[in-house]
């Protein structure tokens, strides 16, 4: 009797073991939002494979539903393999040397096949956990063709699809950050919208270094994972990229210094759009390019189009580094040479202290975008020798009735030695005074581009070479 009972138990165990590895397909009505499937046999833990096991599971989520596949890998045999092939024919092979847990994402209305193959042994096990999630309706955006840059931080597109439309083809540029989290496998680009055929679905990782160009007048982007990303995507009317041999982007994160190397020699012309992540400013810390009459390196507001305004022509303008740009994006153009930029979002602690000859620029945020506030208030402090003189040149100022530009120079005791208030149009005026502090501030409506220089003067009250600070202004009225 005891033997019969043991035999029965062994028989039951054998039947249960066989049922666990039955190769059955996932029913269509099980692949819906909110479902979590565990394969094989809805097990909670990895299931042992029988020798020579071979089964292919097909995951095919419906429209506006994505699927996450978590493969729990406990493969031990040299011939045990799990192959995952997505609808874009991208194949990943998992073996005993792979991570114990590997995650894949399936785009709506595409098909991913998971093929599990066991060798002659029976010491390996596996588990597939498939989670189906609904996607919200894509946010609709019209591509702007003006001073505004069309861009999105990738984090904002996680499970939040966006469809961008235009009256022409659209170019998508990945603005990488250089951070270790720059992984784009689970971001998808649809040439059109979600109603487009699955052949129009692409992975963003395939366009990490080459721009994606739509075949029509719209495209959709969405990320399916929740991993932190520091990168951005930039949308540009394809016509605006004409004339550039290279059109690229970079994202600069807080606390990080990003290096941009641009190769545009032999008659090439390259454009690089710089974007700050979660900051409202950028700082150019270093710049290297050859001194050559044929080499030009310049910067402009926004995307390099007809609305872009000159910031600095590094080939001809006087400038010193670091240089602050009080806005989250601008563009750099390099022509007929190679150049390297070092950028950050952090203002150096001694940025406004001047101890030697220097030239630089001051911009109002509104200079980059007329919809931004014009207000700024900066103070430069001269920390060098006792002999110095500030000279302020005003090339041209235009502000409306609500705007005002103040230029004040103070001595070392904060006694005012010069005060200039500009509320209207002025051209060709010059003000100069001795002092230790220069304060420039703007309020109201308008835009400002200022050039300042700290240079040696040929005259001094003290009979020794003095220092002069020259500031040139370009102030334009904000268009309401």
Asked if pLDDT for residue 300 goes beyond 70, the answer is yes
Mean pLDDT throughout 409-437?
Answer: 79
Q: How many angstroms separate the CA atoms of 389 and 461, rounded?
A: 9
Mean pLDDT throughout 42-55?
Answer: 93
- When divided into structural domains, the chain yields a total of 4
- The pLDDT tens digits of the residues spanning 269-294 come to 999 999 999 999 999 999 999 999 99
In this structure, of 109-123, 146-160, 425-439, the range with the lowest mean pLDDT score is 425-439
User: Are 358 and 466 in the same domain?
Assistant: yes
Asked if pLDDT for residue 11 goes beyond 70, the answer is no
Q: How many angstroms separate the CA atoms of 314 and 297, rounded?
A: 5
Q: Where are the beta strands (DSSP E) in 75-124?
A: 81-85, 91-94, 101-106, 112-117
User: Are 314 and 230 in the same domain?
Assistant: no
Report the percentage of the chain scoring pLDDT > 70.
85
User: Are 250 and 236 in the same domain?
Assistant: no
Report the pLDDT value the prediction gives residue 388, as an integer from 0 to 100: 63
Q: 454 - beta bridge partners?
A: 358, 469
Supply 150's token pair.
């069309």
Q: How many angstroms separate the CA atoms of 272 and 8, rounded?
A: 74
Task: List the end-to-end C-alpha distance of the chain, in Å, as a whole number.
Answer: 97
Taking CA atoms, 324 is separated from 68, 177, 321, 352, in Å, by 43, 19, 9, 10
Query: Mean pLDDT score of the chain, rounded to an integer?
Result: 87
Between 448 and 259, name the one with better pLDDT: 259
Q: Is residue 11 part of a domain?
A: no
Report the pLDDT value the prediction gives residue 194, as an integer from 0 to 100: 87
Q: How many angstroms separate the CA atoms of 140 and 137, rounded?
A: 9
Asked if pLDDT for residue 216 goes beyond 90, the answer is yes
Mean pLDDT throughout 425-452?
Answer: 78
User: Are 279 and 345 in the same domain?
Assistant: yes
Angle at 312 between CA 311 and CA 318, to 5 degrees: 145
CATH number at residue 54: 2.60.120.290
Q: Is residue 437 part of a domain?
A: yes
User: Are 122 and 163 in the same domain?
Assistant: no
Asked if pLDDT for residue 467 goes beyond 70, the answer is no
Mean pLDDT throughout 237-263?
Answer: 96
Report the pLDDT value the prediction gives residue 5, as an integer from 0 to 100: 33
User: Are 473 and 364 in the same domain?
Assistant: yes
User: Are 431 and 456 in the same domain?
Assistant: yes
Report the pLDDT value the prediction gives residue 119, as an integer from 0 to 100: 87
Per-residue pLDDT band at 400 (split at 50, 70, 90): low
User: Are 328 and 248 in the same domain?
Assistant: yes
Q: Is residue 2 part of a domain?
A: no
Report the phi/psi class of residue 220: left, alpha or beta, with left for phi > 0 and alpha for psi in -120 to 50: beta
Phi first, then psi: what are they for 49, rounded to 5°? -95, 140
Domain hosting residue 150, numbered range? 139-241
Q: Is residue 5 part of a domain?
A: no
Asked if pLDDT for residue 203 goes beyond 60, the answer is yes
Report the 10 Å Cβ neighbour count for 240.
Answer: 19
């Amino acid at each position: 009797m005891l033997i019969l009972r043991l035999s029965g138990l062994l028989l039951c165990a054998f039947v249960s073991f066989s049922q666990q590895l039955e190769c059955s397909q996932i029913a269509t009505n099980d692949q819906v939002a909110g479902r979590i499937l565990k394969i094989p046999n809805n097990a909670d833990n990895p299931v042992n494979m029988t020798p020579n096991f071979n089964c292919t599971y097909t995951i095919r989520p419906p429209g506006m539903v994505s699927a996450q596949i978590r493969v729990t890998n406990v493969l031990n045999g040299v011939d045990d393999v799990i192959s995952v092939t997505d609808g874009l024919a991208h194949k990943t092979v998992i073996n005993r040397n792979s991570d114990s847990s590997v995650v894949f994402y399936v785009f709506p209305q595409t098909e991913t096949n998971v093929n599990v193959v066991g060798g002659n042994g029976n010491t390996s096990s596996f588990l597939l956990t498939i989670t189906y999630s609904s996607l919200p309706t894509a946010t609709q955006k019209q591509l702007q063709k003006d001073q505004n840059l069309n861009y999105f931080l990738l984090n904002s597109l996680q499970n939040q699809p966006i469809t961008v439309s235009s009256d022409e083809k659209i170019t998508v540029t990945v603005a990488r950050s250089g951070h270790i989290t720059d992984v784009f496998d689970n971001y998808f680009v649809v040439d059109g919208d979600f109603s487009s055929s699955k052949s129009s679905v692409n992975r963003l990782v395939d366009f990490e270094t080459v721009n994606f160009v739509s075949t029509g007048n719209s495209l959709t982007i969405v990320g399916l994972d929740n991993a932190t990303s520091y990168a951005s995507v930039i949308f540009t009317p394809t016509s605006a990229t004409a004339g550039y041999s290279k059109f690229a982007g970079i994202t600069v994160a807080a606390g990080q210094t990003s290096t941009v190397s641009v190769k545009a020699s032999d008659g090439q012309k390259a454009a690089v759009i710089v974007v700050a992540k979660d900051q409202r400013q950028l700082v150019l810390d270093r710049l290297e390019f050859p001194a050559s009459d044929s080499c030009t390196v310049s910067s402009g507001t926004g995307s390099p189009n007809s609305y872009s305004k000159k910031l600095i022509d590094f080939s001809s303008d006087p400038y010193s580094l670091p240089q602050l740009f009080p806005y989250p994006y601008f563009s750099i153009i390099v022509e007929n040479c190679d150049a390297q930029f070092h950028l950050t979002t952090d203002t150096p602690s001694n940025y406004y202290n001047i101890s030697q000859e220097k030239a630089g620029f001051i911009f109002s945020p509104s200079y980059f975008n007329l919809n931004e506030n014009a207000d700024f208030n900066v103070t430069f402090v001269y920390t060098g020798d006792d002999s110095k003189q500030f000279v302020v040149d005003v090339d041209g100022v235009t502000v409306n009735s609500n705007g005002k530009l103040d230029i004040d120079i103070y001595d070392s005791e904060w006694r005012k030695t010069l005060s200039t208030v500009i509320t209207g149009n002025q051209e060709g005026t010059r003000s100069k005074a001795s002092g230790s502090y220069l304060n420039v501030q703007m309020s109201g409506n308008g835009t400002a581009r200022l050039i300042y220089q700290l240079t040696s003067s040929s005259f001094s009250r003290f009979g020794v070479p003095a220092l002069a600070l020259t500031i040139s202004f370009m102030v334009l009225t904000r268009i309401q």
